[in-house]
């Protein structure tokens, strides 16, 4: 639910280039198989001063995470406030914060920069967890620099309290909370939570602080601990891999990266693929959990996404594979988790229309769009599936989406977003904070509802966060 993949970015760039050339909203799904790069686009625009045509829009919950200081309302969907010189938006990600990548390869962030506000059970909250990767205003979209100043960001993913990026040079960087080794590198120990406070960042006061070998003092390097974090980008090192990395994913307690040869690495609390390192050991020692390790049993991966306790993979042949991370959302070993890789036969090489081309993992559900434009969901039962029937088996979503081709999907905290080939945008699931782009409703929507993005001509890509949403749209101006 927190990822932007290399394949998704490539598809977006293809759509953008086609749209500029032919003045259409989006290209046909067949265009998605062509990989594009940002460099030619950047070169062609270097001498032009035209306003950006592909922009980020946000909606839901409002406040600092929507990146609109002059208009921080939750509804209606509105344009993120970025400097016009930043150029077109090419990648997006969301959780309790928002990340935007522009065609220059610059990363911008806005939103929550603390670990309070839900989803952090197991670690008492701190006020400076650092997932924005910078200082300055949390409510304004500002550029992340530091170690990224000379890098061109290619993909970005937002975990609940951390951020991970890959660059065109093949490097991976991370920043934010490191209470379970999810940064894949050392953090810096900050101030401990207020003495005597045992409530975690989800508001639970049962003294659930995760056991960990935390020996660092304030200001020292650390792996794990509720105050372990880093507020600026730091490179993740992969000792056993020499090729570069193309895209990243992030959940609550773990992160992942896809190498250029299709191998997937994970770090943090994640035993997907039945890791050789025991789950008890990962939980007990964050310095062990922080070491990137290969997900065994799967290769040729083009997309990956991490939900709260689950992962989904897409291969170049259109296969879909899922697994559990082996841990609960409360930093505990999940006894009944199935960490084995499971291939879903619904998505097959033949016929080609059943090949998957976009995948997403939400709080506890999965979403897949096929080459034929069909939308499938499964997982924990709820309105976010957008359909009836057995929730545990992939099944097609109907309603207004039955006659439209899905081209981009996102799975958030109990809600789903879908962009279609005709430029429309739909949502389903939880709507209590306006995350579906329609009037807030505690009852949610169990079938697809259309999202009106105002003056936008068409939606190209979507990202679903904790209680808000982000889309890349083709602007009318």
pLDDT tens for 68-96 read 999 999 999 999 999 888 899 999 999 99
The mean pLDDT value for 105-123 works out to: 81
Minimum mean pLDDT range among 15-24, 27-36, 290-299: 27-36
- Residue 342 predicted with pLDDT over 90: yes
The mean pLDDT value for 320-341 works out to: 90
Q: How far is CA 74 from CA 62, 81, 402, 433, in A?
A: 4, 14, 29, 7
Minimum mean pLDDT range among 1-15, 57-71, 257-271: 1-15
Minimum mean pLDDT range among 201-210, 366-375, 387-396: 201-210
- Domains of the chain (ranges plus CATH)? 6-475 (2.130.10.30)
pLDDT of 226: 87
Minimum mean pLDDT range among 104-118, 201-215, 277-291, 427-441: 201-215
- Using omega within 30 degrees of 0 as the cis cutoff, is the peptide bond preceding 351 cis? yes
pTM to 2 decimals? 0.89
pLDDT of 289: 95
300: phi then psi, degrees, rounded to nearest 5: 60, 35
List, in order, residues 6 or more apart from 421 with CB less than 8 Å away.
26, 28, 29, 373, 404, 405, 406, 407
pLDDT of 214: 61
- Using omega within 30 degrees of 0 as the cis cutoff, is the peptide bond preceding 76 cis? yes
- Residue 131 predicted with pLDDT over 70: yes
Q: Which of 188, 333, 163 is nearest to 255 (CA)?
A: 163
pLDDT band (50, 70, 90) for residue 118: low
pLDDT digits (tens, 9 = 90+) for 142-184: 999 999 999 999 999 999 999 999 999 999 999 999 999 999 9
Lookup: tokens for 27? 């290209």
């Amino acid at each position: 639910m927190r990822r932007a993949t290399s394949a998704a970015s490539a598809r977006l760039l293809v759509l953008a280039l086609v749209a500029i050339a032919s003045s259409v909203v989006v290209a046909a799904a067949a265009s998605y198989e062509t990989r594009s790069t940002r460099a030619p686009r950047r070169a062609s625009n270097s001498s032009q001063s035209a306003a950006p045509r592909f922009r980020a829009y946000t909606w839901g919950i409002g406040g600092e995470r929507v990146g609109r200081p002059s208009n921080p309302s939750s509804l209606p969907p509105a344009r993120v406030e970025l400097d016009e010189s930043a150029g077109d938006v090419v990648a997006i990600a969301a959780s309790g914060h928002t990340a935007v990548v522009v065609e220059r390869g610059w990363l911008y962030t806005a939103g929550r920069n603390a670990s309070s506000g839900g989803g952090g059970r197991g670690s008492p909250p701190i006020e400076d967890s650092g997932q924005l990767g910078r200082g300055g205003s949390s409510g304004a979209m500002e550029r992340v620099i530091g170690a990224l100043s000379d890098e061109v960001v290619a993909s970005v993913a937002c975990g609940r309290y951390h951020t991970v990026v890959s660059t065109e040079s093949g490097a991976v960087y991370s920043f934010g909370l490191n209470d379970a080794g999810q940064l894949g590198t050392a953090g810096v120990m900050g101030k401990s939570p207020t003495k005597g406070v045992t409530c975690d960042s989800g508001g639970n006061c049962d003294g659930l602080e995760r056991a960990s070998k935390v020996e660092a003092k304030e200001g020292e390097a650390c792996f794990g601990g509720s105050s372990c974090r880093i507020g600026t980008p730091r490179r993740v090192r992969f000792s056993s891999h020499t090729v570069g990395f193309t895209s990243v994913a992030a959940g609550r307690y773990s992160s992942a990266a896809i190498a250029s040869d299709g191998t997937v690495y994970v770090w943090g609390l994640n035993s997907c693929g039945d890791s050789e390192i025991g789950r008890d050991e990962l939980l007990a020692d964050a310095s062990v959990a922080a070491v990137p390790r290969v997900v065994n049993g799967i290769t040729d991966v083009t997309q990956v996404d991490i939900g709260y306790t689950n992962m989904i993979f897409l291969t170049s042949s259109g296969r879909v594979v899922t697994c559990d991370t082996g841990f609960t959302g409360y930093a505990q070993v999940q006894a009944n988790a199935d960490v084995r890789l499971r291939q879903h036969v619904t998505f097959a090489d033949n016929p080609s229309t059943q090949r998957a081309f976009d995948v997403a993992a939400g709080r506890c559900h999965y979403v897949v769009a096929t080459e034929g434009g069909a939308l499938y969901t499964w997982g924990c039962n709820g309105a976010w599936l957008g359909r009836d029937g057995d929730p545990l088996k992939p099944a097609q979503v109907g309603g207004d989406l039955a006659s439209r081709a899905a081209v981009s999907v996102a799975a958030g905290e109990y809600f789903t977003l879908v962009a279609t080939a005709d430029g429309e945008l739909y949502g389903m699931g939880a709507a209590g904070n306006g995350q579906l782009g329609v009037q807030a409703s505690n009852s949610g929507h169990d079938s697809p509802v259309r999202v009106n993005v105002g003056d936008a001509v068409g939606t190209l890509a979507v990202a679903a966060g904790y209680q808000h949403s982000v889309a890349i749209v083709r602007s009318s101006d």
